[in-house]
Amino acid sequence: MGNLQTKPRIVPLSKRGMSFETFMWVFTRLTALGMYFFIFVGVIGALIMGAMNQMTFVEVVRWALISNPGHVEYTQVPDIAPWASAFWRTVASGMFLTGLAHGIHGVIVIVDDYVASVSGRNWNRYGNMALFFVVMGAGLYLIWMA
């Protein structure tokens, strides 16, 4: 079997560099962790505010996904005012923006896999970024004004 030398399969960090693709790979992982963080805050916050005795598990999970006071209106929670605070609207905004950015980036990556032309990929990116800003504006308006 002699002198067989194999090349290392891992490129050292010093030779990798920080490309846009690497940044977006990290971005996807961070947005996923961010969504888990906001869900955790929503569940813990709901339990602290008394949801354990006044809401079903499904209602708590719905609250954790989007902290909207409308999600507790038809539960046995007697006072909805604490659930409609600026803190919970901020949590809902964070969850919404994190999920939206994560999803739009996912759509861009999937479409890029199937579009061969550079101009098609650029149209995909610009179109999805425009969609991001339109949906972001509508979503934040609904969270803060509804």
Q: Is residue 20 part of a domain?
A: no
Q: Is residue 55 part of a domain?
A: yes
Tell me phi and psi for residue 67, to 5 degrees. Answer: -75, 75
Instruction: Count up the domains in the chain and report the number.
Output: 1
Q: Is residue 93 part of a domain?
A: yes
Q: Is residue 8 part of a domain?
A: no
Q: How far is Cα 44 from Cα 102, in angstroms, rounded to an integer?
A: 23
Q: Is residue 7 part of a domain?
A: no
- Full residue range of the structural domain in which residue 96 is found: 27-145
Q: Is residue 71 part of a domain?
A: yes
Q: What is the mean pLDDT of each run of 10 residues along the chain (146 residues)?
A: 65 72 89 95 87 81 85 80 89 95 94 92 95 97 90
The answer to whether the Cα torsion of 19, 20, 24, 25 is positive or negative is negative
For 44-52, the CB contacts below 8 A with 24+ separation are 45/88, 45/91, 49/82, 49/83, 50/77, 51/75, 51/77
Q: Is residue 12 part of a domain?
A: no
**So what's the pLDDT on residue 13?**
64
Residue 27 near residue 105, CB atoms below 8 Å: yes
Q: Is residue 17 part of a domain?
A: no
CB within 8 Å of 128: residues ≥ 6 apart: 104, 107, 108, 111
